[in-house]
Amino acid sequence: MKKIIAVVFVITFTFLGCSSEYETSLTLKNLAAGAVYLNFRGEITTVPAGRTVVLSDIPRGTYTYVTTYAVPAGITNSSSVGELTGEITVKAGSKFLILYSSTLTEDSYTIYASRTSNDDLDDEENPLFP
């Protein structure tokens, strides 16, 4: 009987422990004309133009990030708009997307960044004990 209970426990733990409900990720999608470089958790992640990079299994916590970017050759002016720097709070199941895009006009390059997540903005941290 004890063996059956142990086997059921192991099987249950295996399936519940691997639930995607608790997986965390930060997706970087670069639609900009040049590469972007994300400084996050003490590491630099390079995202070439037209590519997507996914950072998985991010531990729970609050982290800052900073984005730098490459300006196409021959451009003399550049600017940035949006969330190229910021802070994210990772909870169980958090998924973040930072989307980079750009415009290029004559000698000016503008990069844009927008950040979204699947976190419920109306959800309180701990509704039982405010």
**Domains defined for the chain, CATH in brackets:** 21-117 (2.60.40)
Phi, psi of 44 (to 5 degrees): -100, 130
d(CA 78, CA 101) in angstroms, rounded, equals 13
Q: How confident is the model at residue 127 (pLDDT cuts 50, 70, 90)?
A: very low
What number is the average pLDDT over the span 65-75?
A: 95
Q: How many Cβ atoms sit within 10 Å of the Cβ of residue 110?
A: 16
User: Quick check: pTM over 0.85?
Assistant: no
Residue 101 predicted with pLDDT over 80: yes
Q: How confident is the model at residue 130 (pLDDT cuts 50, 70, 90)?
A: very low
**Confidence (pLDDT) at 126:** 44
